[in-house]
Each structure stands twice: as C-alpha cells, then as structure tokens.
Amino acid sequence: MKWRNTKNETLLKRSRHIFAMPIATVLVALFLSACSGTRYVEFDQEFDNSQVLFRTVAVDVAPEFRDEFPDCVVVMPPLGGKGSDNYSGVIEAALAAHLTKKINRVVVSIERDAAMHRLAINVSQDDDLRALAAALKCDALITSEIITTDKKYFLVWSQLQIGLVVKMTRMRDGQLLWRARHVADRSEGGLPLSVFGAAMEAYSSTKLTLDEDVTASVVDDAVRRLVASLPDAKSF
C-alpha cells in the first residue's frame, strides 16, 4: 500500500491555483503589448475594427521626396479649432525636436517670426510663403493641423486624446512631399472592484486630468510617431 501525504497534496493544489492567476495575467498582458505596437498604413486607408488594439499612423510619402531630399524646412504654427492655441507652442517644440533628427536644418518660431515680420508675410498667400522659404534659404514648409483635442473625465477613468495631421510641402513648386496623420492618447483609472480600488482608480484618473505635463507628453508621443514615418534626409 502506497503512503500518500494528503496535507502536502492539498498545499500543492492550492499553490498551483494561486500561481495560475498571475501567469494568466502575465500572458494577457504580453498578448496586449504585442498587439499594441504602432502600425503604419496608407494615408487614405479607412480605420476599421481590426486596428483597435494598434496605434495607427496613416502616412503618404511622395516619390518626389526621394528625388530631391529637403535640406531645410520651416515649421509653421499649427492650425486648429477653438482652444488649439494652448497646444501650439508644445507642438512646434516637439516638431522641431524630432524633425532635427531627420532634416539637416529646421527653422522654428524666433527665426521664422522675425523673417515673417520683416517681409510682412501673409500666411494665406502662397507667394508670400515661397518668399519666406527663399529668405530663410529653405526647401520646404512643415504645416500641421490639430484634428482633435478630446479630454474625458469620469472620476474613476479619464483619457486625453490629441490628433494631428502634419504635411511637408516643397515651396519651389508646391509639391506635397509627405503627410501623416495620428491620434495619440493616454488614459488612467479603470473599473473599480472594491472601495479601496475605487479610491485608487479615482486618484489615478484625477492625477492624469490635472497634470499639465501629460499634455506635452501625449503631444510628443504623437509627433514622434508621425516623424518616424518620414524618410531620413540626413542619410542622403
């Protein structure tokens, strides 16, 4: 007759049950992280349900970009609807930082505004913009548009979304060289499972809503992913 240690078997079964949940949780987390990378798609491609788990950047690079890589670009102030002025400086700074990694010379606010004032530039006139680019000895213009600035707050869950379209236009002939579109988001909180959990989720959610640095961080995420789609002109 084989002797069996019932107590040890019981402890072993319990330990297996205890460790099963964390392993399952880790597997789910790994699956989601694998599915939540950044996907680059054609600019005109429609968003569909298969892309929900992915950060999607829509991009279009014209053949003319590779025929004559721009050596210098002028970054213009972003366009947008009501309240977009709050994001202009942050977007310009992010564009300057990331474009510098791809383009040899990037002209932003101080130098650009001084030239615009000196030349009495009207940004709605293409001839004026060409004159601005020529005065700054730049090949192309970078324009951007804020397409969404959505902020949600439901006490235990909050989300910030910022969507941008960025374009590069060759000023000599008005040729569109590159365009990209992306909506970046950040969220905190979740479904509370207890009173303590509700307090923690509410704290995380409120912190995201009140933290001014989050806006700059989300803008930087958006711009970084957009500019990543731009071919590296410094390599040519």
**pLDDT at position 2:** 43
**pLDDT at position 223:** 96
Query: Which residue in the block uniquely carries the two structure tokens 């939540």?
Result: 36
DSSP states of the chain: -----HHHHHHHHHHHHHHHHHHHHHHHHHHHHHH-SEEEEETTPPP-GGGTTSEEEEEEE-HHHHHS--SEEEEPPPB-STTTHHHHHHHHHHHHHHHTTTSSEEE-HHHHHHHHHHHT--TT-HHHHHHHHHHTT-SEEEEEEEEEEEEEE-SSEEEEEEEEEEEEEETTTTEEEEEEEEEEEEEEE---SSHHHHHHHHHHHHHHHH-HHHHHHHHHHHHHHHHHTS--GGG-
Q: What are phi and psi of 31, to 5 degrees?
A: -60, -45
Tell me: pLDDT of 30 over 60: no
Chain segment 80-107, per-residue pLDDT in tens: 865 567 788 899 999 999 999 999 999 9
Q: In CATH, what number is assigned to the domain containing residue 93?
A: 3.40.50.10610
Tell me: pLDDT of 39 over 50: yes
200 assigned to some structural domain: yes
What is the total count of domains within the chain? 1
Tell me: pLDDT of 172 over 50: yes
176 assigned to some structural domain: yes
Q: Note down the domain range covering 64.
A: 53-235
23 assigned to some structural domain: no
19 assigned to some structural domain: no
224 assigned to some structural domain: yes
**pLDDT at position 173:** 92
Tell me: pLDDT of 233 over 90: no
2 assigned to some structural domain: no
Tell me: pLDDT of 38 over 80: yes
67 assigned to some structural domain: yes
Chain segment 190-229, per-residue pLDDT in tens: 555 555 555 555 545 555 555 567 788 889 999 999 999 9
143 assigned to some structural domain: yes
